[in-house]
Every structure is written in structure tokens, then in C-alpha cells.
Chain A
């Protein structure tokens, strides 16, 4: 039973379109993260948030932006999609001190054609 939800699960979109990937969690976690993962490659942190109105860029440079207006919601937006944005995007949340790290969403597999 998932407590963190990502939509859509799969998305194919044309170059230049604006898209928003949704991520919501029902656990009341303060911390939320977006990771990008290409097939067979490691997860790269692209954005994170430690609470409402707090967002930071991660280790991997990304052309996407995020917002955190409510605790449970952490959407990621690409203003103009490009084929280089084709990847899997994973959202996760955590609570300080918890010993299982993150709870992950099911991911959004994005293809830009």
C-alpha cells in the first residue's frame, strides 16, 4: 500500500511542451526529494525540500523546477521538455531519524520525442 503517489506513471510528450510531474505523500513527512535515474545508472538527486516554502537544488544540475506550498505535495515542472529529459523520475520522502531512509513513489517514466 503506497503512501507516496506519483502521477503519471508513464508520459510521452513532444519537445517544447510544459509538463508537471506530481508527487504527494500522506505520511506528514517534512522532507521530500526528486531523483532522476537512467536505465542501469545510479539515482541522482535533482531537488529536495525540508519543509513548506523550502526547496534546494540537488547534486545533478537540472532544468526542472519544484515547489512546496503544502507539506504533502512536491510537484516537479519542466517548462520546455527536450529529448535529453527522457528518464525515470522518482519522488521520495523521509522523516528525521527514521531508520529506513526513504519511502519511494512508483516513479514517472518520461519520454520526450
Chain B
């Protein structure tokens, strides 16, 4: 049973437009949600996170929205830039378990 799902394997967006990446989860025990960005042949790097008690967190061009009732979160990138092209992983953290569960990732391509 996959507890964190990213249903879109890929997304293509024009430079300057908004990129929206989605993530769904099933475990109500998750209390933090994180987005990581990964380039080929490199380890993921942390991008932005949100606590389960909030519904929005913003950091520059990146905003994460959390809909707890729907068990859904999304990452908005505005405006999208070619350098944003990468694989984006959604992760959900359970403090009691002390570990994160990752989705399968979404490959974002931003076209110039």
C-alpha cells in the first residue's frame, strides 16, 4: 500500500507560467510534508515543507498548499524557469515513527 502518491509521472510547462505538482497521502499520522528536488545522478535537495497544522507555506517562487481533509498537497512554482526542470519528490513525515515516506516523483520540464 503506497501511502504517498504522485499520480503525474511528468509535467511540461512553458517558461514563465505556473507549475503545479500534486501529491496525495493516506496516513493521518503524517505531521510534516516536504518537497525535494532532484537532478539526474544527484541526491535530492530539500525545497520547502509545511506542517500539518498549516494550509500554506511560501518561499519565494515556491508555495506549498495543504488540504488536510482531502489528504492532498500541491507545490506551486511561479514563475517557472528552465532551471526548475528536475524530478520533484513529495515526502510525508511521521514524527512518532521518525521517518519520511516518499512518493515516486514527478518529472517537471520547463520549456524556454
Q: Do A and B bind each other?
A: no
Report which B residues bind A (CB closer than 8 A). Answer: none
Report which A residues bind B (CB closer than 8 A). Answer: none
